[in-house]
A and B are shown apart, each in its own frame.
Chain A
C-alpha cells in the first residue's frame, strides 16, 4: 500500500469504529472503550517520541497525569470545559518543553533521559500524593492527596456549560480526538520535519554533520509527545470524573511501554492496538481471581521481548506485504508516509 492508501484506510477504519461501536456495545461496553481510547492516546504519544524520535521516556505518565490534573483543576474553577481542555494540552506541552530543554541542551545521554523522566513521574506522584487537606486547594479545586479529585465535571458542548456530554457523546469526543491525533502525527511524519526526526533516530551524528540542530528537533518532538499525553490524561479524567496520583505511578508508566512494545515500536497503529489489547486483557483478568494482572502483563512483556521483539504490527505487515528488498518492519511506516 502506498502512503496515501494506508492513511485513508486507517482513517476510514477509525471513523467506522467511531460510528459503529455505539451500535454494537451497550453503555457499559462503550464506557470501557472510552477509557481504552484515552490509554491509546497516551500510547500514541509514547510511540511517537520513542519509535520515531528515538527518545526513550520512562515517564510519559508524568504528562498524562499533569494533563488530567490540569483539566480537573481548571474545570472546577471555570465551569465551562472548553478552556480546560486546551490547558490540559498546553500545560504538559510547556512542561515537556522545559524538561526537554534541560535534557537535550544539557547533552544528557539516552540512558539518563530514561532515568530522569522516570524520576520526574515519581516526584510528581509523591508531590501530588502529599496534597491532602484544605491547604492544598487551587481556587475551588482541592487536590485531595492520595484520595484524588472526585466529581470532576464532564466535558460540555464548547462554550455551553449547561449542556454536559452524556457517555455516548463522550465516546464520540474521545474517539474523535484519537483519530485527530493519529492524523496529526501522520502529517508530521510525512513532512520534512518528520523525515529529519526519523533520520535523527537513525543517526544523530550524521544529522548534525548535515547541519541539523538535533537538540531542537528532539525538544519539539518531546513537547508534542507531552501535549498528546496530556490530552490522553484529560480524556481519562473525563471518563471517570476522577483523577488520583496513581496515574503518575510506576505501574502506569511501565504499562505504556508494554503497549508500545507489544503493538510495535516505530509504528503508530501498534501503540493503539497495544493499548486496546492489553487494556482488554486486564479487564478480563479483573473479572476472575485466579491470576494477578501484573503477573500476566510481566509474562506478556517477557514473551514479546524474547519472541516478537518488533511487536505485532510490523510482524503482521511483514506477512501481508511482499517486499522485494525485505524492508525492515520497524521503518515500514516511516517509509510509506510520503505525502
Chain B
C-alpha cells in the first residue's frame, strides 16, 4: 500500500478553553475525492486552516507525502502543492478576473507560460467573457469561480474547497459538481459542503465532523443512512 497524500495524526486546535479540533486522525490517498460534512462549528474550516498553515495546531502532526508540514508558513505549503478555496472568498477585489488568475499562474515558470495557463484556466471555468471585469464588482457565485480559477492556475496537487456551492444558483451548483469530477481526474480533492444534494452528486467517501472530532467516515450512502449522523446534523433533510 502506498503512503497517503495527506495525513493528519492526532491534530488538535485549542483556542483558549475551546477545543475546536480534537485529536483528529485523517488520511487522504492520491487522487482521492473526499467530502467533509458536519454542523456549523464542527471544526471543518479550522481543520482546513491547519492543513494550509493559516493556523498552527496545538498538538499533532500533518504530513504531505510523508513530509512534515505542521505549522509551516502558508506560502511554503502552497508551494508544496496545496491550493485552497476558502469559505469566505479570498480574491483580489481591485484586480480584473484575468489579473487574479495571472498572479496565481505567475508564481513559477515564464511569463508566456503564465499567460497560457491563465487563458486556459479562464476558458475552463467559462470566465473568458468577463476576464476584464473587476472581481470586486462580480456576483458572489462568480467571485467563487474566480477563486477556484486562481486555485487551479497555481497547479496544485491537492485542492481544498471550502463550501464551493454556497450561494450558487441551481445551474451553477450543477456546473460546480461537474467541475469537481473533472478536477478529480487529475487531482486529489477535499470538499467541505453543507448541501446534501450536492454531496450526493459528487461524493464517494464522506468524513463527518462533530464537535471537533471525526464522528464517522464511510461510503456516502452508508453515512447518509447512519442514525448518529442524522441525529447530529442531517435531521429531516436526508430522511
Which A residues are closer than 8 A to B by beta carbons?
Answer: 192, 195-196, 198-199, 201-203, 205-214, 325-328, 330-331, 334-335
Contacts and interface: CB of A to CB of B under 8 A. Distances in A.
Contacts of B99: 195, 199, 335
A210 B150 contact: yes
B107 interface: yes
A30 B21 CA distance: 68
A199 B154 CA distance: 15
11 contacts: A195-B102, A196-B106, A199-B99, A203-B90, A205-B54, A209-B54, A209-B75, A209-B86, A210-B83, A213-B75, A214-B75
Interface stretch (B8-16, B119-127, B131-139, B194-202): B131-139
A198 B94 CA distance: 9
A198 B93 CA distance: 11
B75 A202 contact: no
Given A195-B103, A208-B74, A203 B52 contact: no
Contacts of A214: 75
Given A206-B90, A209-B52, A198 B95 contact: yes
A219 B205 CA distance: 44
B91 A203 contact: yes
B65 to A, nearest CB: 17
B154 A202 contact: no
A335 B102 CA distance: 13
A306 B102 CA distance: 35
A210 B133 contact: no
Given A196-B106, A203-B91, A211 B134 contact: no
B50 to A, nearest CB: 14
A326 B134 CA distance: 9
Given A195-B99, A328-B94, 10 more contacts: A192-B114, A198-B92, A198-B94, A199-B95, A202-B95, A203-B90, A203-B91, A209-B74, A212-B107, A335-B99
B137 A209 contact: no
Nearest to A208: B74
Nearest to A204: B90
B148 interface: no
A209 B84 contact: yes
Interface of B: 52, 54, 73-75, 78-79, 83-84, 86, 90-96, 99-100, 102-104, 106-107, 111, 114, 132-134, 136-137, 147, 150, 154
A210 B102 CA distance: 11
Contacts of B94: 198, 201-202, 328, 330-331, 334
B6 to A, nearest CB: 16
Contacts of A202: 92-95
B156 to A, nearest CB: 9
A270 B107 CA distance: 30
A331 B95 contact: yes
Contacts of A207: 103
Given A209-B84, A211-B75, A192 B111 contact: yes
A325 B133 CA distance: 6
B142 to A, nearest CB: 13
Given A195-B102, A325-B134, A328-B134, A210 B107 contact: yes
B134 A192 contact: no
A330 B84 CA distance: 28
Nearest to A201: B94
Contacts of B137: 325-326
A211 B78 contact: yes
Nearest to A192: B106
Nearest to B133: A325
Nearest to B107: A211
Contacts of B73: 208, 213
Contacts of A192: 106, 111, 114
Contacts of A210: 75, 78, 83, 103-104, 107, 150, 154
A218 to B, nearest CB: 13
A-B pairs, top 6 by smallest CB distance, nearest first, are A211-B78, A202-B92, A206-B90, A208-B74, A211-B79, A331-B94
Contacts of A203: 90-93
